[in-house]
Structure 1
Amino acid sequence: MKVAAMVWGSDIPLLDAGARREGVHIDITGVHNVDDPEVQDRFLRSQEDADLILLHPSHDPAWDDLIPRLRTDIPVVSFGHNQDFWSLSTIPIKYVAAVSAYMTHGGEENYCRMIRFLRKIAEGEDAEPEAPLPMPWEGIYHPDSPEPFPDRNAYYSNHPRRHTQSIGIVFSRTYWANGDRGIVDALIRRIEQFADVIPIFCLSGGDVDLGARPGPVVARENFSGEVSLIINLQPVFRSSNSEVSGDIFSDLNVPVMHPILLYHKTRQEWLDSPLGPSAMEIGWSIALPEMQGMIEMLAVGTEIETGEETGMHEPIPDRIERICRRAEAWLKLQAKSPKERKVAFILHNKPCSSVEATVGAGAHLDTLESVARIIQVMKQEGYTVDPPSSGKELIDRIMEKRAISDFRWTSVGSIVRCGGALDLVDEKTYREWFSELEPSVQKRLEESWGRPPGEEMEGVPAAMVHDGKIVVTGVSYGNAVVCVQPKRGCAGARCDGEACRILHDPEIPPTHQYLATYRWLERVFGADVIVHVGTHGNLEFLPGKSAAPSNRCFPDIAIGTIPHLYIYNADNPPEGTIAKRRACATLVNHMQTVMQASGLYGALKDLEKLLEEYTRAQESDPARAHTLEHLIIDSVEEGGIGEETDL
């Protein structure tokens, strides 16, 4: 017997396993490629010698072209959660419902029962289907235990606590049931090195008819008061009944990271893609979770590459490491007392727009005063800081010390002499950091900026190198440092106004000093969190993928493992989204500045009237004009602008 199947990826491993056990030949095509004419043709060829057609349709309009070309002389079974598609079947609806029930309950045994029932249908038997084997709709999973645990107490009796903090993992029941657990297992093994882990599976939205509780209810029961962070692998994490879900994230009050699974991309396809996820995956796996408040959407796994569709996935080892190290950093931030925490503030500036005049540039935000007041509040909350009294004091100190990047009239030597260097990173230390980069990244940096710590390239001097050491600039306020975003790539004293081209060039990597600054904040200063202040800097616009970055993407390389907060203009969600997707930013929005025309007032308003009258009197009444000259000078003095106008 042969079955021609076009089904969802999650069906493939169990259908394949069930068919092998039952001795049935099944030719499986993944539904995600139904809009590809070649895939359609291949499926239609596979049905030519089939005994039964098995479909799990989607809403893709390509089905309108495919359905009329299906054979009608053999049984067609169209199953799935959506009963609207059942009408494509040529068998009684009660049989379709039975096939769908096997799929809904999941597990290899139920798919074996499905295959046995399909064989009877193909052979024309009028037999009743076996009942599905009941399986749990939810549970706590661990790879060392053959069966899931019904509750936290049972789980802890087999996996006792070993750490002071715990992380909760939420993943789909489908992946538990079909054995696609490699990614979850990898996360569990790595997390257990620094925290306890409670991995739950469930139906995200629940199902009242099945007796399956929604994910938020299961999570609240297992995570409340237990976990310090959640890693949620489900794109949607709420019940259709908002009263049942409640505000689950606010209730739990912990960060919720959302690593994304690239369902239909192999690792190499993901690495080669400049976009990262497909448009469908961005909508489903990134945009929806963003709207629910999830953060840090790094790729966690890809489809296993075998040459055939398997519906199975594998972890990306370096991304597992990055996700878990970032999760560990969030835990450390929570566990530290305020007096121990270290915070790095990054101010922006606009090269080629007179760098000294644009330190702390931010759309509709007084970034300097904001930073000063935040550090003042930190002092009140017990942080070990000595805050500036005002934004003016902060900028005066930055400019006095020349704690910026070199520019047309600011040399690296003057920065060091004035005390603007937080540290000088020697070549040996930077080479150790540089050696950790992926080889192709090292090559790009050397092609653009020379060998570490930087060399003159095509007339452009090495960026911020003094006596062979990389200069990290900023001002210190105890356990808080304030830095101006490091040098993106202009020519310093030889700048010809072209840095703005570099700023958004998708190919030119940042300088050695740029990466050294962020690595210094992470490794030497020991920042527990980085706060970028104001809309916007250039970290999120460095070369790399649009979303789900790899270890070859410069925003991901720069931010490293440090928790990243970004004070951002609420009126600019598109570019804020870029920061979230490319640089693991958690946005802290601020409202728009309310602005109105200030106009003139007091003595300045009187001065305006005198100037207008003087202009008219110059031609018609010279004597009056002479009198007005004296009145204008008096008004200038009274308005307080005498010194500024040099009158």
Structure 2
Amino acid sequence: MRRFLALTFAVFVSAPLMLAQTGAGSPGVSPAPQEPGEPLRVSLLPGDPQSVAAVAAVKELMSDPAMSGIRFQVYPDLDLARADRRFLAESDLIVITPMNARAIAPLIDEDVREALATGGRAFAIGTGLQPLEELGASSEASLMPYVNAGGRANLVQLLRAALARSFRPGLTFAPPVAVPTKGFYDPVNERVFDTFDAFSAAYFERDPTARDRPWVGVVFSRTSITGSDVGLVRAVAAALEEKGLNALPVYSYPADSNIDDLLVDAVGASRVDAVVALSMKLGNTPEKGVPQMRRINAPIINAISLYSQSRANWEASKGGLDISERTWQLGGPELIGAVAPTVVASKEHVIDSTTGMSYVSTTPIPERIELLTARVQKWVHLRVTPAAEKRVALVYYNYLPPGPSGVGAYYLNVLPKSLWQVAQRLAKDGYTMPGAPQSEDELFAGVRAYGLNPLPDEDRAAYLDSIVSAGKAQLVAVSEYRTWFDGLPNKVRTEMVAQWGEPEDSTIMTWRDPQGKPYFVIPGQRWGNVYVGPQPTRGWEQLITAVLHSVSLPPHHQYLAYYLWLQRSFKPDAMIHLGTHATHEWRSTDAVGS
């Protein structure tokens, strides 16, 4: 009769016991009999974070002659509900590492009970396992050190130990080898260093030209190493290096504790000019997070790896980031000062080409990695560029209604008080601002004369003529915009053309020179390296209040031309929106995590 052994364990629990290397098993556990000639079936349910390591461990075992006559299967959590679990129910050895025992127990209830009904054994290792114990699993703490250590190599030895105890007496196995609780990680050679000096020496040996480049910290979870799922860390590090930045991947367990010790040197100086925070979701403990941020003293860029969504799910969702993730992925990091939240990776179900087994991988999204590292490069540039060379765009809200009464918001003194104070501070700090107003009244008059979106019922052509002839408007040739527009994703272009027509047919904020050449007009004033102007309206020739909060209305061509001009012509180092929430909040993109 086939004997079943269900081995169940959970992560993050310590146990003092260690298995001997004899393979003799523990007292009271005798090897289970096996039908002659019948293959031994082993199933692993490793939890999604360890599923990559589990498949790698199985592949290693399958190449070992000592494992002949054994068949393996891996079941990630993502697969349980829809997977064919006949192999699981017929397995001789079932290994489970649940992240959430209560969630998976109902899914495997019948399979485990079928195994137990035929005389199998079930071992549960960890805490929070009551739902699995209710299926008949019993506790076995002596294997816990392998689970705590984690990773492919320890999974291999765990399975060898379990097989030695129940099915393969005399099979040797090694004790667990733990990954250091913190360190500097080289994703190229998959090596952990204890000190920055050792890491940087190896880094410069690999690339001697890196000595004079800025360092950017990449903070990630130790689980990425123990789960053999370091593809995202590797992709971010490589992309940073392509932009002339040195990547310093670091981790600290548990939960980024004392991560600042790795990013600050012995005298308290920061080693980095920016930090990519793949982890560092510390907002629920600001008393710990804020002091760390102050010691690091560098911009923290919130890089988001989707926890529960595939790329296809995320791209198809108008809501963007799953609602269950918004607090800890966005809100919490903001509380400790993390900025520029950027989705960079998704969770993907992958089939291993060699074994046909499935696992769940944290998969980088290439264009999002490019966006992230471009942002980091800008932050580093902003940090080291002298004030006199920095460019700043001050964009104020001017929509409800357009015209002089709609600058900012009715409850905010944007014009002139806030704008004046910002301009004064920029001048004091050494920004290049020739032609800037010398008084609040002069600023107020300039904005009213040259820096407004025209009212729906006024003579727009006359207004545009007046600001263009005064040299107080920026002009974007429709032909130049067309080249920018044609380089945008097809989905964006299709939606805009369907709503607003082709760029050449646009009448919104357009002006023609004496030769008839069309331009988009961007109101506002240019004071050297500082641009001050109104954010474009959302709609035109429509009921303004009806389109203000529309999340389905794509931007019109002048709206897009405005931001493309800022990005590609003016090229600001910083852009500041003053007033209320601004109209870009209601664009037809993902609500959160776009």
TM-score, shorter chain, exceeding 0.5: yes
Give the secondary-structure state (helix, strand or coil) at the position aligned to 1:416. Answer: helix
Structure 2 match to 1:190: 239
Give the secondary-structure state (helix, strand or coil) at the position aligned to 1:298. Answer: strand
Q: CA deviation at 1:61?
A: 5.4
Structure 2 match to 1:423: 474
Structure 1 match to 2:215: 166
Structure 1 match to 2:21: none
Q: Equivalents in 1 of 2:106, 2:136: separation in Å?
A: 18
Structure 2 match to 1:321: 370
Cα deviations by residue, 1:627-646 (Å, 9 ceiling, x for unpaired): xxxxxxxxxxxxxxxxxxxx
Alignment of 1:255-266 (within 5 A): 255-266=299-310
Asked if the contact 1:7–1:56 (Cα under 8 Å) also holds between the matched residues in 2, the reply is yes
Asked if the contact 2:46–2:96 (Cα under 8 Å) also holds between the matched residues in 1, the reply is yes
Q: Equivalents in 2 of 1:97, 1:236: separation in Å?
A: 33
Structure 2 match to 1:509: 554
Out of 90, 103, 107, the position equivalent to 1:49 is 90
Structure 1 residue 230 corresponds to structure 2 residue 275: yes
Please say which structure displays the higher CA radius of gyration.
1
Give the secondary-structure state (helix, strand or coil) at the position aligned to 1:141. Answer: strand
Out of 52, 55, 67, the position equivalent to 1:16 is 55
Alignment of 1:583-594 (within 5 A): none
Q: CA deviation at 1:45?
A: 4.5
Q: CA deviation at 1:247?
A: 0.7
* Structure 1 stretch displaced more, 379-388 or 25-34: 25-34
Structure 1, gaps ≥5 residues long: 207-212, 456-460, 550-647
Cα deviations by residue, 1:118-168 (Å, 9 ceiling, x for unpaired): 324553969997420233332222333352222111122122334442211
Structure 2 match to 1:31: 77
Q: Equivalents in 2 of 1:224, 1:3: separation in Å?
A: 52
Q: Taking structure 1 as reference, are residues 176 and 465 closer, same or farther at Cα in structure 2, changes over 3 Å only? A: farther
Cα deviations by residue, 1:485-540 (Å, 9 ceiling, x for unpaired): 1132222xxx5xx1222222222111111111112122222211000012221112
Structure 1 residue 523 corresponds to structure 2 residue 568: yes
Asked if the contact 1:403–1:420 (Cα under 8 Å) also holds between the matched residues in 2, the reply is no
Q: CA deviation at 1:463?
A: 4.2
Structure 1 residue 474 corresponds to structure 2 residue 524: yes
Q: CA deviation at 1:180?
A: 1.6
Structure 1 residue 360 corresponds to structure 2 residue 408: yes
Q: Taking structure 1 as reference, are residues 3 and 238 closer, same or farther at Cα in structure 2, changes over 3 Å only? A: farther
Structure 1 residue 486 corresponds to structure 2 residue 536: yes
Q: Once the two structures are aligned, what percentage of the paired residues are identical?
A: 23
Give the secondary-structure state (helix, strand or coil) at the position aligned to 1:488. Answer: coil
Give the secondary-structure state (helix, strand or coil) at the position aligned to 1:329. Answer: helix
Structure 2 match to 1:76: 122
Q: Equivalents in 1 of 2:107, 2:60: separation in Å?
A: 30
Structure 1 residue 301 corresponds to structure 2 residue 345: yes
Asked if the contact 1:166–1:228 (Cα under 8 Å) also holds between the matched residues in 2, the reply is yes
Q: Taking structure 1 as reference, are residues 29 and 249 closer, same or farther at Cα in structure 2, changes over 3 Å only? A: same
Q: CA deviation at 1:188?
A: 1.2
Out of 333, 338, 341, the position equivalent to 2:390 is 341
Give the secondary-structure state (helix, strand or coil) at the position aligned to 2:294. Answer: helix
Asked if the contact 2:404–2:448 (Cα under 8 Å) also holds between the matched residues in 1, the reply is yes
Asked if the contact 2:283–2:333 (Cα under 8 Å) also holds between the matched residues in 1, the reply is no
Q: CA deviation at 1:410?
A: 4.2
Structure 1 match to 2:4: none
The alignment yields a C-alpha RMSD, in angstroms, of 3.2
Structure 1 residue 500 corresponds to structure 2 residue 541: no
Q: Taking structure 1 as reference, are residues 387 and 340 closer, same or farther at Cα in structure 2, changes over 3 Å only? A: same
Structure 1 match to 2:424: 376
Amino acid at match of 1:429: E
Q: Equivalents in 2 of 1:47, 1:139: separation in Å?
A: 38
Amino acid at match of 2:559: Y
Structure 1 match to 2:192: 148
Q: Equivalents in 1 of 2:460, 2:283: separation in Å?
A: 55
* Structure 1 stretch displaced more, 59-68 or 535-544: 59-68
Cα deviations by residue, 1:605-636 (Å, 9 ceiling, x for unpaired): xxxxxxxxxxxxxxxxxxxxxxxxxxxxxxxx
* Structure 1 stretch displaced more, 533-542 or 273-282: 273-282
Q: Equivalents in 1 of 2:197, 2:382: separation in Å?
A: 28
Structure 1 residue 409 corresponds to structure 2 residue 458: yes
Q: Taking structure 1 as reference, are residues 321 and 240 closer, same or farther at Cα in structure 2, changes over 3 Å only? A: closer
Out of 484, 488, 512, the position equivalent to 1:437 is 488
Q: Equivalents in 1 of 2:293, 2:136: separation in Å?
A: 45
Structure 1 residue 267 corresponds to structure 2 residue 308: no
Structure 2 match to 1:630: none
Structure 2 match to 1:542: 587
Asked if the contact 1:171–1:234 (Cα under 8 Å) also holds between the matched residues in 2, the reply is yes
Q: Equivalents in 2 of 1:490, 1:312: separation in Å?
A: 46
* Structure 1 stretch displaced more, 189-198 or 361-370: 361-370
Amino acid at match of 2:430: G
Give the secondary-structure state (helix, strand or coil) at the position aligned to 2:456. Answer: coil
Q: Taking structure 1 as reference, are residues 423 and 463 closer, same or farther at Cα in structure 2, changes over 3 Å only? A: closer
* Structure 1 stretch displaced more, 46-55 or 72-81: 72-81
Alignment of 1:450-461 (within 5 A): 450-455=501-506, 461=507
Out of 219, 227, 244, the position equivalent to 1:178 is 227
Q: CA deviation at 1:441?
A: 0.8
Q: CA deviation at 1:314?
A: 2.2
Q: Equivalents in 2 of 1:17, 1:330: separation in Å?
A: 38
Q: Equivalents in 1 of 2:84, 2:324: separation in Å?
A: 23
Structure 2, gaps ≥5 residues long: 1-39, 63-69, 205-209, 352-356
Q: Taking structure 1 as reference, are residues 374 and 396 closer, same or farther at Cα in structure 2, changes over 3 Å only? A: same
Structure 2 match to 1:593: none
Amino acid at match of 1:29: Y
Asked if the contact 2:184–2:195 (Cα under 8 Å) also holds between the matched residues in 1, the reply is yes
Asked if the contact 2:149–2:177 (Cα under 8 Å) also holds between the matched residues in 1, the reply is yes
Q: Equivalents in 1 of 2:330, 2:284: separation in Å?
A: 18
Out of 86, 89, 109, the position equivalent to 2:153 is 109
Asked if the contact 2:397–2:535 (Cα under 8 Å) also holds between the matched residues in 1, the reply is yes
Asked if the contact 1:205–1:240 (Cα under 8 Å) also holds between the matched residues in 2, the reply is no
Out of 279, 284, 303, the position equivalent to 2:328 is 284
Q: Taking structure 1 as reference, are residues 20 and 441 closer, same or farther at Cα in structure 2, changes over 3 Å only? A: same
Structure 1 residue 252 corresponds to structure 2 residue 291: no
Cα deviations by residue, 1:391-422 (Å, 9 ceiling, x for unpaired): 44323212222542463204144223233753
Give the secondary-structure state (helix, strand or coil) at the position aligned to 1:408. Answer: coil
Structure 1 residue 448 corresponds to structure 2 residue 470: no
Q: CA deviation at 1:78?
A: 3.6
Normalised to the residue count of structure 2, the TM-score between the two structures is 0.79
Q: Taking structure 1 as reference, are residues 500 and 5 closer, same or farther at Cα in structure 2, changes over 3 Å only? A: farther
Q: Taking structure 1 as reference, are residues 316 and 289 closer, same or farther at Cα in structure 2, changes over 3 Å only? A: same
Q: CA deviation at 1:228?
A: 0.9
Asked if the contact 2:50–2:228 (Cα under 8 Å) also holds between the matched residues in 1, the reply is no
Amino acid at match of 1:75: R
Asked if the contact 1:139–1:200 (Cα under 8 Å) also holds between the matched residues in 2, the reply is yes
Q: Taking structure 1 as reference, are residues 301 and 399 closer, same or farther at Cα in structure 2, changes over 3 Å only? A: same
